[in-house]
Amino acid sequence: MKLTADKAHFWRSDKWPGFELMRAHWVRHSFSKHFHDCYTIGINNGGAGNFDCRHKKQDAWPGRLNLIEPGETHTGGASSECGWLYRDFYISVECMHDLAQRVNVTQIPEFCSATVHDPELAHEFREVFVAMTTMPATHLEQDYLLVKAIRRLCVRHGCQQPAHVRVSKEREAISRIRDYIHAHFAEEITISRLASLTGWSTFHLIRAFHEATGIPPHAYQNTLRVAQAQEQLRNGESIADAAVSCGFYDQSHM
């Protein structure tokens, strides 16, 4: 059946803090460059889509999983007439760390690829999604299904980096900039202030930050503002209060 309308539905786990789910059917809607501060695991259920991530176009269709790490810039949209149907898991860094410890993975995983063809793993995550949203299953069964799927994900598609790998000075500088923007996202931030954190020229900072994240500093800040405003709205705050506290001049900027 050909889909004609975009729609999405969200859930928040009452068992796992920092764990959210979304079922989406996109036909016309597309996403410009953005990022999440959490892990995103997507199961493609029907149709087809694609997204730019890690400097290449990633194709998404049934049997494949989309694996996006926190802070990775990406786009997204349907690439077939029937649209793009998928289910997403949004897992906070803290929650992923907890899950990794439960499956005896010593480091939070880094995904080897932004898309992987693994129908068996896709089926396991689909079972998790159903258990958390439509059954719903007991917490014990949810735990079992989730831990099993996370274990297989880490073993099959996680790149464990050696502890002795040295982080470059430029990567450390980018990390300082990102930390500063996270801490002051609701405030006015200048390029000169960010440059002072690194000793770089403003031109070098803009270029290096864009290369590392895929977007310029102001877009990174705005993404954080939008994400925080959405969180406050979900928690019952008014649009006006959320706009002010997140640094938007008025509601139209949200």
What distance in Å separates the CA atoms of residue 114 and residue 214, rounded to the nearest whole number?
15
2 lies in a domain?
A: no
**pLDDT band at residue 163 under the 50/70/90 scheme:** very low
Mean of pLDDT values over 66-83 = 94
| Domain count along the chain | 2
Average pLDDT of the residues of the chain: 87
* Cα 201 to the center of its chain, rounded Å: 30
What average pLDDT does range 34-59 have in this prediction?
95
Q: What is the pLDDT of residue 102?
A: 80
Are 182 and 132 in a shared domain?
no
Alpha-carbon span 19 to 39, nearest angstrom: 10
Same domain, 146 and 173: no
The answer to whether position 1 is within a domain reads no
Residues 189 and 140 in one domain: no
Q: How many other CB atoms are found less than 10 A from the CB of residue 107?
A: 14
Whole domain around residue 30: which residue ranges? 7-159
Picking from 105, 136, 159, the residue at the C-terminal end of a domain is: 159
Per mean pLDDT, which range of 74-83, 100-109, 206-215 is the poorest? 100-109
| Least reliable range by pLDDT among 9-13, 29-33, 57-61, 227-231 | 227-231
DSSP state of 16: S
Q: Are residues 197 and 107 in the same domain?
A: no
Global confidence as pTM = 0.72
Q: Which of 135, 159, 183 is the last residue of a domain?
A: 159
**Over residues 150-157, mean pLDDT:** 91
Residue 218 is which amino acid?
A: H
Look at residue 7 in the predicted model and tell me its pLDDT.
Answer: 93
Asked if 110 and 155 sit in the same domain, the reply is yes
